[in-house]
Amino acid sequence: MAEYTGRCMRCKTDRQIKDAKETIMKGKVKMRAVRGICVKCGATMYKILGKA
């Protein structure tokens, strides 16, 4: 399984994303994103991958 890192808003630093799952964010433009949990503090993290 691929590992992702993203910026945790709570830690205010880059963290590995635990339980990362790809998802599609629906808005004006569909965006591929990864949603998961910060390994350090458990906050929900998103990483935008790009346009779907």
Which C-beta is closer to Zn ion: that of 12 or that of 51?
12
- Which parts of 17-36 interact with Zn ion (CB under 5 A)? none
Residue 37 interacting with Zn ion (CB under 5 A): no
Residues 6+ apart with CB under 8 A from 28: none
Near Zn ion by CB under 5 A: residue from 11, 25, 31, 37: 11
Name the residue among 21, 15, 20 with its Cα closest to residue 38: 15
# binding residues, Zn ion (CB under 5 A): 7
Which C-beta is closer to Zn ion: that of 41 or that of 48?
41
Measured torsion, CA atoms of residues 40, 6, 49, 35, in degrees rounded to the nearest 10: 20
